Amino acid sequence: MLKNLAVVFLVAVSNFANAQIVADKVVAVVGDNPILLSDIEMQYVQAKAQSDKALPEDFKCEVFDRLMLEKLFLAQAKLDSITASPDEIDAELDRRIRYFTSIFGSKEKLEEYYGKSLSELKDDFRTDIENQLVSDKMRSKALGGMKVSPAEVKAYFKAIPKDSIPYFNSEVELSQIVRYPQVSEEQKEIAKKKLEKIREDIMNGSDFSLQAILYSEDPGSSTDGGNLGYIERGELVPSFEAVAYRLQEKELSDVVETPFGYHIIMVDEKRGERLKLRHILVKPKLTQAEFVACKNTMDSIKHQLDVDSITFKEAVGKFSMDEHSRAVGGLVTNNKNGTTYFEKSDIEGSLIFALDKIKVGQYTDVLPYTGMEQTGEQKQGFRIVLLKSETKPHKANLDIDYPKIQVAAKNAKTARELERWVTLYKDRTFIRIEPDYMFCEEAHKWLTNEN
């Protein structure tokens, strides 16, 4: 399948870290899109660096196959007049630069590591980002919106030979009540006054970018003078956007409160509904007192559960601060497989120890919990976890495993549609594969009537 944008960007970054790999040979051409030997080698090096296991012997052939598909999407996108606008490319570049700046800790460290300025890095990445955006658009057009009906799920499962029905390990379903410490009004006021002083200094002539570098607590933009790049409506939280879209170019906002903290915003440029923004963020601080208060609240909730004054589901709706699980009665989603079922090997150690002490229908004591902010930063809190169900090791069946079988059926349907699409469009597209790369079994499926 196509690599997602994050992987593509990482591969592009590795061009600098692995300069010994030279773009020395064309191994295939799809339409007017070449595949270089160095493209394959670069992804191999990237995967090898990220994996703690040995890569399969045919891994480079798998990369070759993925690149052929990507180039076919690109070739067809050109015929269908599918493009990525300069604004879309700029926005994606800005987002990636902010992300990698946060990983390296500062813009200067990022530039030092690769020996190039941010503008030079953007120039190097621009073509890759554009191609990936266009390829993804074509893929969405070809395969987007794929669904499977209950009848298709049943038919898929019925078609599996009895001796090939998968065997599932023991799995559990979990529900949770989560709470996080809340910042005190005193700490909010301290943060707000600090930002008001920064705003006053800027209004009196201080440089916005310098103030952002010195004081902003947004790791993704502070080292770039608070630069957020170009944004469109819907990309940022409503309270932030509502103020940003009312500002004129070079106008400085008043202090704005969002779930992330307090901001001042400046619009550098307007392009219709797109804004190029900078901001300075100051976050109110949590103190030990807030953590103690949160733990006490959770102890009180557990007591209410213990004396049956409230059901677990009612407590989720009334008290839980985790929006995703609260919306489904507290059920925890396994991000690894997209279902609500976890093998015990998928569960972190401290929770496993707690679950081993309880039976289905029972819940744990109050446990420390690390959640995730909308910014991707971790936040500390507490939770109570209910062991909702537990299956024994078993052969797959529709009654117990419908969600997993549904996912498998959808994947199979998508794969069939992808194969049909490739078969249809490869014969309409110029494809050339160099003879010395035909050792890959995957290469043979790309041969057309013309080659």
Secondary structure (DSSP) of 288-304 = HHHHHHHHHHHHHHHHH
Cβ(301)–Cβ(177) under 8 Å?
Answer: yes
Average pLDDT for 256-265 = 93
Task: Write the pLDDT tens digit of every residue in 72-89.
Answer: 999 999 999 999 988 888
CATH numbers and ranges of domains, the chain: 5-147+411-444 (1.10.4030.10), 168-183+287-395 (3.10.50.40), 185-282 (3.10.50.40)
3-state secondary structure of 251: coil
Cβ(321)–Cβ(381) under 8 Å?
Answer: yes
Average pLDDT for 292-304 = 97
8 band by pLDDT with thresholds 50, 70 and 90: very low
5 band by pLDDT with thresholds 50, 70 and 90: very low
Cβ(153)–Cβ(405) under 8 Å?
Answer: yes
Residue type, position 395, single letter? K
pLDDT of residue 123: 86
Neighbours of 250 (CB within 10 A): 10
Cβ(360)–Cβ(353) under 8 Å?
Answer: no
Average pLDDT for 336-355 = 88
Per the prediction, the chain carries an average pLDDT of: 88
pLDDT of residue 192: 96
Residue linked to tokens 């956007």: 241
Better-predicted residue by pLDDT, 258 or 23: 258
